[in-house]
Chains A and B, each alone.
Chain A
C-alpha cells in the first residue's frame, strides 16, 4: 500500500478525530497535518520508512490530539485580541457524508455524538471510525483497555438514549 492509498483509507477517521477538538473542518485539517508531520519526524529519527504500521495508529491519534490542543491554545490567545473572529467558531460542514435522503438522521447522530462527554466520544471515534482495538485505545489514552471499553459502552448507551429521546420528540 502506498502513502496515498493509506491516507485515503485512514484520513477520514483521523480527520473526524481531529474535529472532536477543533471548531471547524479547516482547523481540523491543520491539526491533522501538524500531528501527522510531528509523528513523521519522530519516526524518521528512528530510521523507519514507508506508510505507518497499524501498531502506530494510536501514536498518530495522540499526535493529532496534541496538535489540536496546541492550535486551540494559540487560537484562544488570538481570539482574546480578535473578538470579531467569532464567526470562525461556526462550522456548517457536517462530520459525516450525507445524502439528501439520510441527512436528517445523520445530523441527529452528529448532535448526539457532540453531546457526549469528550472522553467517551473520542473512544467511540477511535473504535468505530479509527478501527483501533480497546487495547490500542487504552495505550493511546494512557488508561486500561477495560476503562476504554467501559467508556465505549457508556457512550453507546447515552447515544441510544439521546436518539430515542429525539425520536419520541418528533
Chain B
C-alpha cells in the first residue's frame, strides 16, 4: 500500500486526537512505578510466606484503616465519578519493629503502607439492601529488612488493592 494519500486521508491526518489528561499521565506514571517496584522486589510468590509471619502487620493494618477513613471523607465530599489520585504518596507509616539480628541473619526493622490512589467504584446495593458507595484503594505494602549493623538491607514492596463499601445516607 504505497498509494499516495487521498484528500480524505490527508484531512484525517490533520486531525489531532485529544491528549490524555495530566491526571491520567500522572496516575499512569505512579502505576508504572508501582509495577516496576513490585517486579524488582522479586514478585509475590516467594515473599508471600514470609509476609505471613511479619510481626508488624497489625500496625500496618491500623494505618490502612486510618487511610480508609480518609478515603471515605474524600468520597463523601466529592461524590463524583472521576478517579482521584493523590499527588504523591499520601502517607507513609513506618513502624520500627524489634529487630533481632544475629550475625548475618536479616530481620524486619520497619513496615508500612502507602496509599497512592483512590478510585470511586460507583454506587451499589449491599446484601442488606442498603445503598453503598464502593471505594477502591490502591496501596503499597512495604517491609524493610536489615542485618546486624545494617551492613546489608533490602525492601519488599507489594501492591495491593482494597475495596471498601461506605453506607450512603437515605435522604
Chain A residues lying within 8 Å of B23, measured Cβ to Cβ, are 29
A12-B19, A40-B35, A106-B15 known; A33-B27 Cβ under 8 A: yes
Q: Are A15 and B17 in contact (CB under 8 A)?
A: yes
A85 to B6, CA, bound (A): 42
Dominant secondary structure of chain A at its interface with chain B: helix
Contact with B along A80-92 (1 / 0, CB 8 A): 0110110010000
- Contact indicator B35/A15 (Cβ below 8 Å): no
Assess A45 versus B39: contact at CB under 8 Å? Given A26-B81, A32-B28, A37-B28: yes
Residue of B nearest to A96 (CB): B15
In the bound assembly, the distance between CA atoms of A78 and B39 in angstroms comes to 32
Which of the 9-residue segments B53-61, B118-126, B150-158 touches chain A? B118-126
Chain A residues closer than 8 Å to B164, beta-carbon distance:
none
**Residue interface bits B14-42, CB-to-A below 8 A is 1, else 0:** 01111111011101110110011001000
Q: Are B1 and A149 in contact (CB under 8 A)?
A: yes
The complex places the Cα of A30 from the Cα of B84 at a distance, in Å, of 11
A156 to B36: give the CA distance in the assembly, Å.
41
B residues at A contact (CB < 8 Å): 1, 6, 8-9, 11-13, 15-21, 23-25, 27-29, 31-32, 35-36, 39, 81-83, 121-125
Jot down 20 A-B pairs with beta carbons below 8 A, ordered by A: A4-B25, A8-B19, A15-B17, A15-B20, A15-B24, A16-B17, A16-B18, A32-B28, A33-B24, A33-B31, A36-B28, A37-B31, A78-B121, A78-B122, A78-B124, A81-B125, A95-B18, A96-B18, A156-B6, A156-B9
